[in-house]
Structure 1
């Protein structure tokens, strides 16, 4: 018997937990919030590190993973979680989309909407992720569905007929101890030099975890091509993320701007990259939230976001001129040129940093606590 065995049990069911993913960070934030409410927290997952879970006050229980790809492995995880919960009888079961629950489902993506916005077509029948999401969300067993943005809420209301009263918009938070102006810009000059940008160069970056198709890196290269023609030698471009960059590097090479680009994989000190930039852009065809956008803002870096990026909802009231359709290349280029030639970037960065502060990790954790307490 553990020292916490007298506490009510809360279970978080998520197939894999790795701090580098947004979904995993959400799960750990939930563990902290639930622990703060007096729960003993167990994370049920197929992959993860116990020591990492313990850092956030949770116990990791690994379930056996079905070895073959396909929809069945998602349903298998659901079955394993249900069997574990029948034995342990938790007071609260938090699902991350792959598990049925009478309590709350936290969703991280809209796979149907993503297919339509990225590829212009519906998903094929039997799609692995869509199958389990359809099962969980159409079943209606939950008391609440939590989503990353209004973009997601509206899609789920229309697609699954979920009552708006059962949907909660829960924006992800950021860590202000890591993402702040002082830390981001502490070694700005050296970082910019390492990226090939001198003091007179306007450095524009697209930083993401990966999936360059979804984040519209092709559109970013198109913007870079137009900007290089309109402002020769003035701009340099950075792409960061884990994906195959070869097609996009070839696109830049064909356009004759390969030398203007820097390509990097993900790094642990990403805040220094935000601090090195003059402008962060995310022209994603869909980004259900886009925590990188919030982090960049917290670092005092001006941002331009696509209308189908959830984080753009934070800009609608005070900075709607920083939002564009993902495929409106001319609109992006004209706005970037105006930023370079006319706007006070320091003042804009300060304004965005103040806006981001309302969504710090601590504030969002308090909101999570209130949400869980209401259940």
Structure 2
């Protein structure tokens, strides 16, 4: 196996027992539109020169056998994550125009298979981009079931909760980056409408909390919200809280959904989160508005969170979700990918 990349952390190879061959491609480090285009060209040239059996792309590149649509449809992402003038401005920015053009070229190319992590994404590609359903390879993301929900994670989580919010009756976690798209605005409004002094919301992620602090103060919930910053021990944070909430406007597949489920937590999210469909009835899934600030969203969210104050119901949902994701581990994921590679090779032989 060979990995084509523009940069990588050498620690990755030290932590991998079966280290792949890594080719670092020379591309500009400035101006993202140029970097994206040059990386696409460089990977195509490298693949042609090396005569690989299979090219599986995890980035928006023009030429490959299997393209993983990890972010779903960029056009749909833009539509759902912004509105009004901001949406129009983003569509005309050089960065987004390049990404949209590459995406459109991939979706038009009948020779490329497209890996989708959810039916939510697959349906968007077939209905809006006119991708043939025969080109879709449906495979959910995987979760490290040995990391989440362990006795150590729960023990460390209890210590963290004692340290941060010992007196809280219920602690909910919002684990995300890109907080605006992930629905933090309507979540904060919902917290204010609950008027529950025993409730706490922990927010984990790398976003800057400064723009949100005024909104939190204006809503009168400063004592109920805590910013944790980016965390590399989310398994411990999951072990500290009572539930996970992600009222996202658009997520092809939010991996935190599986992580929380593997930790035995009840999950409250939206149908715009592709991961939710794999948990069936073990997840509370809301139909909220596509665009930010849709009227009534915060009311429905507040009601759903209050319903999960029933500890017996919350525990039952978490346990059911935990059992489901035990089957969504990395060995199963790798086996499904290997089978897809064999399928691609067989189809190629049939056409020769």
Same fold by TM-score greater than 0.5: yes
Change (3 A) 1:261 1:59: same
1:194 aligns with 2:154: no
Q: Name 1:289's counterpart in structure 2.
A: 253
Q: 2:132 and 2:341 mapped to 1: Cα distance?
A: 19
Contact 2:282 2:320 in 1 (8 A): no
Deviation (angstroms), 1:76: 1.1
TM-superposition CA deviations, 1:282-338 (whole Å, max 9, x none): 00101110110100000001110111001111233x246443425522122112112
Q: 2:50 and 2:106 mapped to 1: Cα distance?
A: 21
Change (3 A) 1:124 1:170: same
Q: Name 1:307's counterpart in structure 2.
A: 271
**After the TM superposition, which of the residue ranges 341-350 and 83-92 deviates more from structure 2?**
341-350
TM-score of the two chains, using structure 2 as the length reference: 0.87
Q: 2:102 and 2:205 mapped to 1: Cα distance?
A: 28
Q: Write out aligned runs for 1:129-278 (5 A).
A: 129-142=99-112, 144-198=113-167, 201-208=169-176, 210-227=177-194, 229=195, 231=196, 233-278=197-242
TM-superposition CA deviations, 1:319-372 (whole Å, max 9, x none): 464434255221221121121146433222211110111212222222222222
Contact 1:206 1:240 in 2 (8 A): yes
TM-score of the two chains, using structure 1 as the length reference: 0.82
Contact 1:100 1:136 in 2 (8 A): yes
Note the residue ranges of structure 2 that are not aligned, 5 or more in a row: 345-352
Change (3 A) 1:178 1:319: closer
Note the residue ranges of structure 1 that are not aligned, 5 or more in a row: 1-40
Q: Name 2:61's counterpart in structure 1.
A: 99
Deviation (angstroms), 1:98: 2.4
Backbone CA RMSD of aligned residues = 2.0
1:358 aligns with 2:322: no
Question: May I ask how many residue pairs the two structures share in their alignment?
Answer: 328
Q: 2:284 and 2:10 mapped to 1: Cα distance?
A: 45
Contact 1:206 1:281 in 2 (8 A): yes
Deviation (angstroms), 1:102: 4.7
Q: Name 1:78's counterpart in structure 2.
A: 40
Q: Name 1:33's counterpart in structure 2.
A: none
- Per the alignment, in what secondary structure is the counterpart of residue 325 of structure 2? helix
Change (3 A) 1:354 1:342: closer
Deviation (angstroms), 1:148: 1.7
Q: Name 1:6's counterpart in structure 2.
A: none
Moved over 4 A (4+): none
Contact 1:312 1:323 in 2 (8 A): no
Q: Name 1:10's counterpart in structure 2.
A: none
Q: 1:107 and 1:321 mapped to 2: Cα distance?
A: 25
- Per the alignment, in what secondary structure is the counterpart of residue 213 of structure 1? coil
Contact 1:146 1:169 in 2 (8 A): yes
- Per the alignment, in what secondary structure is the counterpart of residue 314 of structure 1? helix
